[in-house]
Amino acid sequence: MRFGCCLDATAGLEKIAQLAEIGYDYVELSLAPLAVMPEAEFRPLAAAIGRAGLPCEACNVFYPRQVRLTGDDVNWPQVQEYTQRAIARAGQLGAQIIVFGSAGAKNVPDGFPAGRAWAQIVETLRMADSLAAAHGITIAIEPLNRRESNIVLTAAEGLALVREVDRPQIKLLVDYYHLALEEESPAILLEAAEAVRHIHIAQVEGRAFPTTVQGGYQAFFANLKAIGYAGRVSVEARPADFQADARQALAVLRQLAA
């Protein structure tokens, strides 16, 4: 497995260098602010990220809340234009994975039929598939928890969405933090094996860095190993002390994956 850490690209250059020194394999950057950045600002920032010592192999925060994906206010030309721009920017950074959680963009408006919202998300992902393929990128659907979202709340629902979209570049992310909050069994990894392309992890309490080996982590990683998962695992958490927590978390992840 390869281990990375999620950062805000507009404030993370020093932290990228720190992660490289600690021994992480890659960094995962927030895409939405980069996608809307003027070209004159994006180019030097992308170059600086490239020099920071760690490859950007994944991006999260695919859609900002201003680009509505569900409801009566969806502006389809805007969605198409933004999707093309965001995927191209991720490609310029060298990313191979784009995480599709984007609660603010996809949450179902009050009174809007959930089935129609689901169909809108399917349409968006099918449109994004060919754009992602052109850049060698996989879009990984990230189920969130009910505190953050009101649609696609479990890995089982994420897997159902992957299967309904039925496109080669649309796969599944399983996030330990969201899975634990939703009290979903890590056995879903066994069912979803062929669809799993990316992993997020954080401690449930305080969404902190995973700095100690816990039973929940052990069961989760046992199933990852059972399905032969050799992909990326990104820490998506809030540090108390960034360098210390990042260093300890990497040691814990390596122990869990051994």
CATH assignment at residue 13: 3.20.20.150
**Of the ranges 44-53, 84-93, 201-210, which one carries the lowest mean pLDDT score?**
44-53
Mean pLDDT, residues 235-241 taken together? 96
| pLDDT at residue 37 greater than cutoff 90 | yes
| Paired tokens of 181 | 């909050």
pLDDT at 20: 95
Average pLDDT, whole number, for the chain? 96
Residue 54 is assigned to a structural domain of this protein: yes
| pLDDT at residue 154 greater than cutoff 80 | yes
| pLDDT at residue 84 greater than cutoff 80 | yes
What's the domain range around 86? 2-197
Mean pLDDT, residues 188-196 taken together? 98
Residue 175 is assigned to a structural domain of this protein: yes
pLDDT band at 161 (very low <50, low <70, confident <90, very high): very high
Domain total of the chain? 1
pLDDT at 183: 97
pLDDT band at 53 (very low <50, low <70, confident <90, very high): confident
pLDDT at 215: 85
Residue 210 is assigned to a structural domain of this protein: no
pLDDT at 9: 76
Mean pLDDT, residues 146-167 taken together? 98
pLDDT at 12: 72
- Asked whether the beta carbons of 69 and 120 are under 8 A apart, the reply is yes
pLDDT band at 13 (very low <50, low <70, confident <90, very high): confident
pLDDT at 129: 98
| Paired tokens of 86 | 């965001």
Mean pLDDT, residues 116-131 taken together? 98
Residue 226 is assigned to a structural domain of this protein: no
Among residues of the chain, what percentage have pLDDT more than 70? 100
Q: Is the four-CA dihedral 251, 252, 257, 258 of positive or negative sign?
A: positive
The contacts of residue 91 (CB under 8 Å, 6+ apart) are 135, 136, 137
Q: Is the four-CA dihedral 187, 188, 194, 197 of positive or negative sign?
A: negative
Residue 231 is assigned to a structural domain of this protein: no
pLDDT at 214: 86
Mean pLDDT, residues 3-12 taken together? 86
pTM of the model: 0.96
- Asked whether the beta carbons of 12 and 243 are under 8 A apart, the reply is no
- Asked whether the beta carbons of 213 and 255 are under 8 A apart, the reply is yes
| pLDDT at residue 114 greater than cutoff 80 | yes
Residue 38 is assigned to a structural domain of this protein: yes
**157-163 contacts: CB < 8 A, separation 24 or more?**
158/192, 159/188, 159/191, 159/192, 159/195, 161/118, 161/121, 161/122, 161/125, 162/195, 163/195
pLDDT band at 169 (very low <50, low <70, confident <90, very high): very high
Residue 243 is assigned to a structural domain of this protein: no
Residue 18 is assigned to a structural domain of this protein: yes
Q: Is the four-CA dihedral 7, 11, 17, 22 of positive or negative sign?
A: negative
**85-90 contacts: CB < 8 A, separation 24 or more?**
85/35, 85/36, 86/31, 86/32, 86/34, 86/35, 86/62, 87/128, 87/131, 87/132, 87/134, 87/135, 87/137, 88/135, 89/31, 89/34, 89/35, 89/42, 90/31, 90/59, 90/135, 90/137
